[in-house]
């Protein structure tokens, strides 16, 4: 991991998650910081994709949830 332009942060993890993260770090020969940073990047990339999809579908008509449920009941789906 590059050391340029990095910031230090404190996070609190469930002890089981921390143990799993330590094991994965050891098995993959990556630091915990590298694994956490990669997970954050993936999460943010997914958010970016979601926002892009929302923007593309912005002009589609919205369906009230109640109407969807009524249609499902009417069609015997629920």
Mean pLDDT by 10 residues, the chain (78 residues): 80 97 98 97 91 87 93 96
Q: What is the predicted pLDDT for the residue at 54?
A: 83
Q: What is the predicted pLDDT for the residue at 28?
A: 97
Q: What is the predicted pLDDT for the residue at 4?
A: 77
Q: What is the predicted pLDDT for the residue at 27?
A: 98
Q: What is the predicted pLDDT for the residue at 55?
A: 86
- Between the alpha carbon of residue 61 and those of residues 55, 57, 58, 64, the distances in Å are 13, 9, 8, 10
What tokens were used for 27? 């098995």
Q: What is the predicted pLDDT for the residue at 1?
A: 52
Q: Which of 75, 64, 78, 3 has its CA nearest to residue 37?
A: 3
Q: What is the predicted pLDDT for the residue at 77?
A: 94
């Amino acid at each position: 991991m590059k050391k340029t332009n990095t910031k230090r942060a404190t996070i609190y993890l469930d002890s089981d998650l921390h143990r799993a993260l330590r094991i994965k770090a050891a098995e993959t020969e990556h630091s915990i910081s590298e694994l956490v940073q990669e997970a954050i990047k993936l999460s943010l990339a997914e958010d970016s994709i979601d926002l892009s999809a929302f923007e593309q579908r912005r002009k589609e008509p919205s369906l009230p949830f109640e109407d969807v449920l009524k249609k499902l009941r009417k069609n015997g789906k629920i």
